[in-house]
Amino acid sequence: MNRIMVLLAVAWAGLPAGAQKVHVDFDHACNFFSYQTYRWAPSAPGQDMNQLMQERVTGFIEEALAARRLKRVDKAGDLLVSYKISTEELPQYTTFSDGTGPGWGWGWGSSVSVTTVQPILLGTLVVDITDARQKRLVFQGVATTTVSAKPQHNTKKLASAVRKIFEKYPPR
């Protein structure tokens, strides 16, 4: 019984469900403090989410930019902001064993192991910030996490992803 509990704990710890990974990259020669305005770049085709979630992500990004004293404009602007969300289905393998016997090695006993495959949906949010005049990427944030079947969980995950990306903007 103890082995089963240990295996379940190890399997649970290995689940990527709670692990949200965020990475940023930026132009190290860029003076981010010279930017004061931004506008939205045309959206990329093929977004893997509905209009409600797109509006939420846009709102989260706009809040983060406003907190950094960037003002949204409809024309011109110092920066172009865009984002893309994609999803990918990956297999997740879980093995359970019910080994019995006196211990490891050459002892007597038996064991049955069962491996199951569960598909998990992995979502990736990419936020690109481009210098509008020079037409070059100056900042990119990428967040990856599992996608839930519940929209309210995905909304919280997206809000957290945007917050974590913009914690590193402007780079210092």
For residue 27, is it within any domain? Answer: yes
Structural domain boundaries, residue 81 = 20-92+118-166
pLDDT (tens digit per residue) in 15-64:
444 578 999 999 999 999 999 999 999 876 666 678 888 899 999 999 99
For residue 155, is it within any domain? Answer: yes
pLDDT (tens digit per residue) in 98-116:
766 555 556 566 677 788 8
Is residue 168 classed exposed, middle or buried when 0-12, 13-18 and 19+ CB atoms within 10 A define those classes? Answer: middle
CATH code of residue 46? 3.30.160.670
Q: Please check whether residue 120 is in contact with residue 144, taking contact to mean a CB–CB distance below 8 angstroms.
A: no
Q: How far apart are CA 88 and CA 101, in angstroms?
A: 42
For residue 82, is it within any domain? Answer: yes
Give me the residue label for tokens 């049955």: 112
For residue 44, is it within any domain? Answer: yes
For residue 103, is it within any domain? Answer: no
pLDDT, residue 60, reads: 96
Range with the lowest mean pLDDT among 14-18, 69-73, 136-140? 14-18
What is the pLDDT averaged over residues 86-94? 86
Number of domains in the chain: 1
Coil vs helix vs strand at 35: coil
For residue 7, is it within any domain? Answer: no
Average pLDDT over all residues of the chain: 83
